[in-house]
Chain A
Amino acid sequence: MSDVEEAITRAHHDEWARVVAALTRRFGDLDLAEEAAAEAFAAAVERWPADGIPPNPGAWLTTTANRKAIDRIRRENKRDDKHRQAQMVSDDDPSEPAGAIDDDRLRLMFTCCHPALAMQTRVALTLRMVGGLTVPEIARAFLVRETAVEQRITRAKAKIKAARIPYRVPSAEDLPTRVSGVLAVLYLVFNEGYLATGPDTDPVRHGLTAEAIRLARLIRALLPDDGEVAGLLALMLLIEARRAARVSASGELVALDEQDRGAWDAALIAEGHRLVRERLAAAAAGVAPGRYQILAAINAVHTSARDMRDTDWSQVLALYDQLVGLDPSPIIALNRAVAVAELDGPQVALAAVDRLQDQLAGYHAYHATRADLLRRLDQSQQSRAAYDQAIELAGNTAETASLTRRRDQLQ
Chain B
Amino acid sequence: MQYLVSVIDDKSNPGSTDRRPAISAFNERLIAEGYWVFAGGLADTDAATVIDNRGEQPVFSDGPFVESKEYLAGVWVWEAPDLDVALKLAAEASKVCDRKIEVRPFQ
Binding site for B on A (CB under 8 A): 89, 114-116, 162-166, 170, 174
Q: Given that A116-B87, A164-B1 are contacting pairs, would A89 and B105 also be in contact in the complex, using a CB cutoff of 8 Å?
A: no
A174 to B87, CA, bound (A): 12
Nearest 5 Cβ contacts at the A-B interface = A166-B82, A89-B82, A163-B105, A164-B82, A163-B83
Q: Residue B107 at the A interface, CB < 8 A?
A: yes
Closest CB of chain A to B77's CB: distance in Å?
15
Contact, CB under 8 Å: A89 / B81: yes
Q: Are B84 and A166 in contact (CB under 8 A)?
A: yes
Residue of B nearest to A116 (CB): B83
Main secondary structure of the interface of B (DSSP, over half): mixed
- Determine whether the beta carbon of A164 is less than 8 Å from that of B105: yes
Interface SS majority for chain A: loop
- Residue in chain A with minimal CB distance to B1: A164
Nearest-CB distance from A80 to chain B (Å)? 15
Q: Which residues of the partner chain B approach A165 to less than 8 Å between Cβ atoms? A: 82-84
Contact with A along B64-107 (1 / 0, CB 8 A): 00000000000000000111100100000000000000011101
Residues of B within 8 A of A115 (CB): 87
Residue-by-residue, is B1-33 near A (CB-CB < 8 Å gives 1, otherwise 0)? Answer: 100000000000000000000000000000000
Considering the complex, give the chain A residue whose CB is closest to the CB of B105: A163
Q: How large is the interface on B (under 10, 10 to 19, 20 to 34, 35 or more residues)?
A: 10 to 19
A-B contact pairs, 8 of them (CB 8 A): A114-B83, A115-B87, A163-B103, A163-B104, A164-B82, A164-B83, A164-B105, A166-B83
Collect the chain B residues with CB atoms within 8 Å of residue A162's CB. 105, 107
Residues of A within 8 A of B82 (CB): 89, 164-166
Taken together as a complex, chains A and B put the C-alpha atoms of A115 and B103 apart, in Å, by 13
Distance (whole angstroms) from the CB of A95 to the closest CB of chain B: 17
Complex Cα spacing A115 to B90, Å: 14
Write the nearest CB–CB distance from A207 to chain B, whole angstroms: 31
Residue of chain A at shortest CB distance from B85: A166
Query: What is the chain A residue whose CB lies nearest that of B3?
Result: A163
Expressed in whole angstroms, the minimum distance between the Cβ of A170 and any Cβ of chain B is: 7
Q: Which residue of B lies closest to A178 (CB)?
A: B84
Residue from B1, B82, B87, B104 with most neighbouring chain A CB atoms (10 Å): B82
Q: A164-B81, A166-B82 are in contact. List 9 more A-B contacts (CB 8 A).
A: A89-B81, A114-B83, A116-B83, A162-B105, A163-B83, A164-B1, A164-B82, A165-B84, A166-B84
